[in-house]
Structure 1
């Protein structure tokens, strides 16, 4: 799960952030749209996965939860998590 947060939450989130930092003529609207799609898919997958869990891999706090906190915090700023995803 820690790899999930790195590869499917943090990576697309940073794609959006880095695009904003580029000069206007170098921006990648297609890449940003794909990154946001991946975030949406990842949020939905995670919501389903967390429906019967307290922590990322089950009942115990782990390194995966350490990866989840900042990844989800910044991703939500970049592309908000739909409130209907309650887990």
Structure 2
């Protein structure tokens, strides 16, 4: 399998965590979409130009991070099972994955991009709405984590693959230290070997983009 990805993409990081958790072998292809030539070449492969993209050994393409994780989980049976086979638990894991994408990832990315602009060019309304959405999601997550070890229940799942990369960035722009259950959760999941490995690999790329900002 071939994975086209960027270390700067939280959606790519979601997939990498899933692959590392299940110890699945793949051929990595790092894509820099900020490079016009690289972007042009990549869109020849995948016209929508979005990352990540998994290309199976039979050349079939699987885009979209959650769909990629589902494919990985169903085709490689080793632990951990990222989408529980129990229908109710599986729905909860998928639901929390989707909530993290919509109500945590997207507003956090908005805050990051706005923070890079000169103060007089920042969209204050967008910053306010993004901060409000993040606060709502923090309260929701904190409540969920009050009754379970992980976001999708008592086992590590696709929901955690989604949450971990975003929380890594989020804590710098919208700190969650006041949410005891999220803080406890982060202290645990940030030490998982899959994320430690990802963080080490991604650090040079993150520093190159964010280090001087």
Report the structure, 1 or 2, having the larger helix content: 1
Equivalent position to 1:17, from 100, 107, 112: 112
Structure 2 gaps of 5+ residues are 1-95, 182-213
Question: In the TM superposition, what whole-angstrom CA distance separates every residue of 1:25-81 from its partner, at most 9, and x where no partner exists?
Answer: 532011101100111111011101111101111111111111111111211111111
Question: Offset of 1:7 from its aligned partner?
Answer: 1.0
Question: Offset of 1:11 from its aligned partner?
Answer: 0.6
Report the structure, 1 or 2, having the larger strand content: 2
Is 1:57 aligned to residue 141 of structure 2?
no
- For 2:180, the equivalent position in structure 1 comes to 86
The count of aligned residue pairs is 86
Question: Offset of 1:5 from its aligned partner?
Answer: 1.2
- How far apart, CA to CA, are the structure 2 residues paired with 1:18 and 1:38? 16
- For 1:66, the equivalent position in structure 2 comes to 161
Structure 1 gaps of 5+ residues are none
Q: Report SS of the residue matched to 2:165.
A: helix
Cα-Cα RMSD:
1.4
With the length of structure 2 as denominator, give the TM-score of the two structures: 0.38
Q: Report SS of the residue matched to 1:52.
A: coil
The 5 A counterparts of 1:3-42 are 3-42=98-137
Stretch deviating more after TM superposition (23-32 or 36-45)? 23-32
Question: Offset of 1:20 from its aligned partner?
Answer: 2.0
- How far apart, CA to CA, are the structure 1 residues paired with 2:173 and 2:153? 27
